[in-house]
Structure 1
């Protein structure tokens, strides 16, 4: 068995949490069965002409041959690279355990169904979700407490340890992996799925109009306005996987989580994908080229489009391969 741990890279505490998860999992399965990105690709010592692209290639190669994934996701702003990896795994028929230390739940309307994450896609595709349900419980009366800070740390660390162990048990006790279901090519090769960003002024109507103007059939998300958002999210996933092309607006502080997940699914299924990103900001890391999005997003898409003219040009292109 090959297990992939998907986690946020850019904060030291997230790397420590992922390493602790990997250590515990390796103790039960053997270290050769556990892949911890950035640790096992050794970013600090990796030498490559374009390091970010090489890191993407190494992670994607591993994504193509894993048996199960455990993903760490926290808070309302979910890591877009992790969400992309979840989408890739799910579209490849790989079970995904999602582990979160966020005790909040979310709804798309005030009285709507409560979800574990802001975008129902995460809940829809997860094989199982392991969460901490509330703030850590106080210590029992009568137990010695060195200080209130130590007590607060201990009660929350105990929660984390419980969640890690529960997530690992869920991962290694998964039922036999089901056969992969291959979606046949769509009958309408002009279909385009459009995913708008809540942060963008250039909304889905502008993109849809541009696509329809040159003869494409357009599909847009159902999940944000559906009475059953989880069921609708699965419809959105199916629509992307069966589309000819995918226009993903990745505007915002991070690529919106559902959009990132769908980009991963599209990459796994070979759907041509372009990122609409009119006003990029760049991230910089030692030894790595500037990235206009998380490298898992940047290299999973074949083009970044600035404006309507770019969109029309990409739609008119007859062939192309994913930048990955």
Structure 2
């Protein structure tokens, strides 16, 4: 068995949480069966001519031979690299267990159905969602603590330990033969799925209208307006996997989570993908080339577009 832990990389506490989960899984399945990005790719000390691309290649190689994925997602701003990896796994027929200690739920309207994540696509594709939203019970800690703050810390650690243990048990008891997503044959070679960003300054219909003007058949997301957003999210994923191309607006502080997931699914299915990013910003990590998005997004997309003329040129290619 091979297990991949997808987690946010950019803060020490996120890496420590993922390592604690990896240790628990390794104790039950063996250390050679667990892949922990950053740790197993030796990201801190890796030297490569184009380090970000090399890291993408190492992670993608492991994504191609998994039995299950465990994804750590917390809070309303979901890590776009993790969401891309979820999409890659799901489109490859790999079950994904999602762990969250978020105490909030989300809805697309004030009275709409409550969701575990801001984008219903995450919930729709997860084989299991493990949510442990409450702190540990102070009466069950079984120890005297010297101060209010130490007690609060202990309750948080108890919550984390419960979440990790529950996740490992869930992972071990997953069905052996998960349902696989089958990509339907495209109706024609001129179909494009257009995923807009809620953060973009462009009109939400602008990209779709550009594709229609170029002679393409266009599909757009339905999950944000449907009465049943989870069911509609699965239809969105199927529609994207039926398209010849994915045109994804990745604008925002991070690539929107559903958009990142679709990019991962497209990468797994070898669907041509362009990322629209009109206002570029860059991250600078030690030893890496500047990345204009999370490296899992940057290298999964074949190109970056920043205006209508670029979009038209890509559609014509």
What TM-score bracket applies, with the shorter chain setting the length? Answer: over 0.9
Aligned to 1:265: 265
**Structure 1 residues 139 and 187, CA gap change in structure 2 (3 angstroms):** same
User: What pairs with 1:274-293 in structure 2 (closer than 5 Å)?
Assistant: 274-293=274-293
SS in 2 for 1:4: strand
Runs of 4+ more than 3 Å apart:
135-143, 178-182
Contact 1:139 1:155 in 2 (8 A): no
Q: How many angstroms apart in 2 are the aligned matches of 1:41 and 1:302? A: 23
TM-score (structure 1 length as normaliser): 0.95
Contact 1:139 1:151 in 2 (8 A): no
User: What pairs with 1:65-214 in structure 2 (closer than 5 Å)?
Assistant: 65-139=65-139, 144-178=144-178, 180-214=180-214
Q: How many angstroms apart in 2 are the aligned matches of 1:274 and 1:206? A: 15
SS in 2 for 1:304: strand
Contact 1:197 1:203 in 2 (8 A): no
SS in 1 for 2:284: strand
Aligned to 2:11: 11
Question: How far apart are 1:78 and its partner, in Å?
Answer: 0.2
TM-score (structure 2 length as normaliser): 0.97
Contact 1:211 1:218 in 2 (8 A): yes
RMSD over equivalenced CA pairs, Å: 1.4
Structure 2: gaps of 5 or more residues: none
Contact 2:69 2:95 in 1 (8 A): yes
Q: How many angstroms apart in 1 are the aligned matches of 2:67 and 2:142? A: 47
Q: How many angstroms apart in 1 are the aligned matches of 2:46 and 2:208? A: 42
